[in-house]
Amino acid sequence: MRHRAVKGLLFSVILWALLSGTIGVMHAQGDEGRGLTIGFSQVGSESDWRTAFTEITRAEAERRGINLLFSNAENSQEAQIAAIRSFIEQQIDAIILAPVIETGWAQILQEAQTAGIPVVIIDRNVTADESLYLTRVSSDFVFEGRLAAAWLAQATSGSCKIVELEGTVGSSAARDRQIGFNEVIALFPEMQIIVSQTGDFRRPMGKAVMESILHTEDPSEICAVWSHNDDMAIGAIEAIKEAGLDPGNDILIVSVDAIPDIFKAMMDGDTNATVELNPYMDGPDFDAIVAHLNGEPIPKWIPVMGGIYFPDTAAEEYAIRVR
């Protein structure tokens, strides 16, 4: 009887996780924007997903005939603010900002607005007043966390001690994925996070943090690793293997991004699930800028959603993503 009740609850949780997130559709990518000069301040290159996101955006700008001024901030907010100020001085047509953290943007966004330059926030969020930027193009990070937790609840019948590898402290991606995940596991008294440490979205740090945790915690008590991105998960997989354990079996792994390397890990049996952070945000952000410059109204949030992937389709997904 209890088994039937848990199974029914799991089904309800998964439905809730799926339906509570904003179900967004990626905008069709047009080819307008030729001749525009747009500045792009990127967080950095801390992960394979971030690198792919940059390459996709550059390629789409080139395809459209947009002059893209690219600045890699290497995870420095100060560098991003300096880059935006440089874009303003050059009197370009628009600015795209992928912010390293949420806070501290009001002044520079006000400067851009005063100069008449629209700013699109992409991927991560900012806490500044919405009137200071045109729109935000992003995934729903809370939804991603819910989806990861719903899968883990189902896979473990609602009983699991979890290690959490957090992303960059102060980033909306890390905070919101954590919120979404915790909302779901709160429904299961036997699911709990026993250790939560930041790996800054970086693969080497994911490995180092997991090595430390395996020394301070009893590995046999760890049911799963919940990682805010795939790169930290891959680092954790390396640490688990070096500890003589079998990742994907002894310790379940669920993460976010859906980069090629995580599908390779799935093919090798080393991980169990990944929630996609769709890197194709370039079409919607360029479309929004063009529409705004043409006098059209723009919503304050343009969602770009992804799904969840498992080992049974890993080979197919890997082949698609390494082309």
Q: How confident is the model at residue 280, as a pLDDT? A: 87
pLDDT at 14: 53
What is the arithmetic mean of pLDDT over 261-286?
Answer: 94
How far apart (Å, rounded) are the C-alpha atoms in residues 6 and 34?
56
pLDDT (0 to 100) of residue 30 = 54
Of the spans 11-15, 238-242, 277-281, which averages the highest pLDDT?
238-242
Q: Which residue has the tokens 């043409």?
A: 294
Domain spans in the chain, listed from the N-terminal domain onward: 2-19+141-277+311-321, 37-139+279-305
Do the domains spanning 2-19+141-277+311-321 and 37-139+279-305 agree at the CATH topology level? yes
For position 28, what pLDDT does the model report?
Answer: 40
CA atoms within 13 A on the CB side of 113: 15
Q: Calculate the dihedral angle through the C-alpha atoms of 285, 286, 288, 291, rounding to the nearest 10 degrees.
A: 180
Question: How do residues 66-76 score in pLDDT, each as one tens digit?
Answer: 999 999 999 99
pLDDT band at 4 (very low <50, low <70, confident <90, very high): very low
Distance CA(319)–CA(321), nearest Å, equals 6
State yes or no: pLDDT of 319 exceeds 70.
yes
pLDDT (0 to 100) of residue 176 = 95
Amino acid in position 85: R
3-state secondary structure of 239: helix
The average pLDDT across 192-199 equals 98
Q: Return the closest-CA partner of residue 94 out of 72, 61, 127, 124.
A: 61
- Mean pLDDT, rounded, of the chain: 90
Q: How far apart are CA 9 and CA 3, in angstroms?
A: 10
What pLDDT does 10 receive? 52
Q: How does pLDDT run across 121-134, given as a tens digit for each residue? A: 998 899 999 999 99
Q: What confidence score (pLDDT) does residue 25 get?
A: 37
Domain 2-19+141-277+311-321 has CATH 3.40.10.10: no
Instruction: State the CATH architecture for 37-139+279-305.
Output: 3-Layer(aba) Sandwich (3.40)
The answer to whether the CB of 117 falls within 8 A of the CB of 152 is no
Q: How confident is the model at residue 26 (pLDDT cuts 50, 70, 90)?
A: very low
Q: Would you say residue 18 has pLDDT above 80?
A: no
Q: Please report where in the chains the tokens 């709990």 appear, as a residue.
A: 192
| Banded model confidence at residue 31, pLDDT cuts 50, 70, 90 | low
Q: Using the 8-state DSSP alphabet, how is residue 28 labeled?
A: P
Least reliable range by pLDDT among 31-35, 81-85, 119-123, 201-205: 31-35
Higher per-residue confidence, 271 vs 44:
271
Mean pLDDT of 111-139: 95
pTM over the 0.95 mark: no
